[in-house]
Amino acid sequence: MSERTLVLVKPDGVSRGLVGEVISRIERKGLTLAALELRSVERAVAEQHYAEHDGKPFFESLLEFITSGKVAAIVAEGENAIAAFRQLAGGTHPVEKATPGTIRGDFGLEVQYNLVHGSDSPESAEREIKIWFPAL
């Protein structure tokens, strides 16, 4: 079933010049781009996006990080897009969980600076796409 997922290249990925790499992997997988924008992140948007983590010990640090520079916000579309991008991204911790060959496994070292975000369910994807691309 064709679906949409919200992908973010986080500020570490943007500052390291990995936007093209991430887009290339999305396209090579067979997903298509439905929306793409390089933008600064207001705190309110970051709080909404990461609302499920409110109260966790890393919440404040995560908000500071995600608002520290530009992000590339992307909507990728295709068969099983949500699971497909999670597979491309790899596990949350770039060393302990992500395997080589994935974006996090190939380029990351630390759990906070794990380069990309991808929606984890159809409900999250719908909620997140509304936050980042209200007009879609």
Residue 111 sits in the site that holds ligand IDP (CB under 6 A):
yes
| Residue 58 annotated as part of some ligand binding site | yes
Instruction: List the one residue out of 16, 7, 2 whose CA is nearest residue 120.
Output: 7
Give the neighbor-by-neighbor strand order of the sheet with 32-39. 32-39, 71-79, 2-9, 116-118
Residue from 2, 27, 39, 58 binding ligand IDP (CB under 6 A): 58
The nearest distance, CB 93 to ligand IDP, in angstroms, is: 8
The nearest distance, CB 117 to ligand IDP, in angstroms, is: 5
Name the residues that contact ligand IDP, by CB under 6 A. Answer: 58, 62, 92, 111-112, 114, 117, 120
Residues recognised as catalytic? 117
